Amino acid sequence: MDIYIVGQQLVNGLVLGSTYGLIAVGYTMVYGIIGMINFAHGEIYMISAYLTAIFLALASYFGLQSVPVVLLLVLFATVFLTALYGWSVEQIAYRPLRHSNRLAPLISAIGISLILQNYIRISQGARNQGVPPVLDGVWRIPSSAIDQHFIQITYLQSLIVVTALASMALLTWIIHRTALGRACRATQQDRIMANLLGVDTDRIISVVFVMGAAMAAVAGMLVTLNYGSFDFYIGFLMGIKAFTAAVLGGIGSLPGAMLGGVVLGLAESFFAGFVNSDYKDVFAFSLLILFLIFRPSGFLGVPEVEKV
């Protein structure tokens, strides 16, 4: 087995896993706070891809040439508007059903997911969309001193991994070192007691949806720039993969979301590279089934203890 093939698949898996981890954060945060899965989260990611393309077009229209400036402006604008979509999902699909049975918000979220899919399909068209390359360049690492094969890492791939790690570090700091984080942890542990102690739990839940959508927006922008094409249906498969990553890592655990994403990305990459790329999705979901059977709490999750 050539070392450069292993190295290249390792790079591809880390990049893919980083994007899974960023999106999985939204699932794990919402589940950690309210104990439910936001099935519209994949469509939030999809919307961020379209917003990225729109803002890139606007930057080109206004003649912005500096790549760092364009990337920062597109990032801030995409994150802001995507966060508004995340907030709207919480206001429409979850808040009115806060005190209903647990099944009602899940069905409502699936309905919002379908609405967002068709809203984009009607407004932007059903055909594949694309964006031009923004950040060119590649690093080549020789696999050995003898052969001429190289492990290639593009600048965008490096940016994806670095941004994912930085975003996860920032979010972890917010949760564990700020007043907002303490309020989130209090809401997670006991919502009624948190209310009695003065925590506005409704606001905290909205903020959690906003933060999860912002992380999905970062992933959506970077993936769009890396692959260059997307359509209105990309949120479904990516959402399911990110949910799988959240389960593998331990849903409700922020480090687990990133760990699960990296594990899933590496598993997919090596399976596609050395077995069969046509069945990599089957392999990924088989991992999910195995974990649900043998370790439902995931790598870093804590088994739920029923309060009596």
DSSP letter for each residue of the chain: --HHHHHHHHHHHHHHHHHHHHHHHHHHHHHHHHS---TTHHHHHHHHHHHHHHHHHHHHHTT---HHHHHHHHHHHHHHHHHHHHHHHIIIIIGGGTTS-THHHHHHHHHHHHHHHHHHHHHH-SS-EE----S--EEEEES-SSS--EEEEEHHHHHHHHHHHHHHHHHHHHHHHSHHHHHHHHHHH-HHHHHHTT--HHHHHHHHHHHHHHHHHHHHHHHHHHH-EE-TTHHHHHHHHHHHHHHHH-TT-HHHHHHHHHHHHHHHHHHHHHT-GGGHHHHHHHHHHHHHHH-TTTTT--------
Q: Of 81, 64, 16, 56, whose CA–CA distance to 242 is shortest?
A: 16
Cβ proximity of 198 and 105 under 8 Å:
no
The token duo for 163 is 């941004």
Question: How confident is the model over 14-18, as a mean pLDDT?
Answer: 95
Q: What b/e sequence results for 158-186 when a residue is b if at least 16 CB atoms lie within 10 Å of its CB, and e otherwise?
A: bbbbebbeebbeebeeebeeeeeeebbeb
Which amino acid appears at position 192 of this protein? I
CA distance 242 to 261: 7
Q: Of 285, 251, 290, 257, whose CA–CA distance to 271 is shortest?
A: 285
The predicted pLDDT at position 146 comes to 55
Question: How confident is the model over 51-71, as a mean pLDDT?
Answer: 93
Q: Could you give the percent of the chain with pLDDT greater than 70?
A: 95
CA distance 259 to 297: 13
Q: Of 299, 127, 138, whose CA–CA distance to 229 is shortest?
A: 127
Which amino acid appears at position 121 of this protein? R
Chain centre to alpha carbon of residue 70: 22
Question: How confident is the model over 255-274, as a mean pLDDT?
Answer: 93
The predicted pLDDT at position 136 comes to 84
The predicted pLDDT at position 273 comes to 87
The per-residue pLDDT for range 19-38, each reduced to its tens digit, is 999 999 999 999 988 888 89
The token duo for 197 is 């102690």
Question: How confident is the model over 67-76, as a mean pLDDT?
Answer: 94
The per-residue pLDDT for range 211-234, each reduced to its tens digit, is 999 999 999 999 999 999 999 999
The per-residue pLDDT for range 3-15, each reduced to its tens digit, is 777 888 999 999 9
CA distance 177 to 170: 10
The predicted pLDDT at position 137 comes to 85
The pLDDT mean for the chain works out to: 90
CA distance 280 to 282: 5
- Give the predicted TM-score (pTM) of the model: 0.92
CA distance 105 to 107: 5
Higher pLDDT, 1 or 58: 58
The per-residue pLDDT for range 87-127, each reduced to its tens digit, is 999 999 889 988 888 888 889 999 999 999 999 999 999 89
State whether CATH 2.160.20 applies to domain 3-294.
no
The predicted pLDDT at position 305 comes to 56
- In this predicted structure, the answer to whether residue 203 has a pLDDT above a threshold of 90 is yes
Domain boundaries, the chain: 3-294
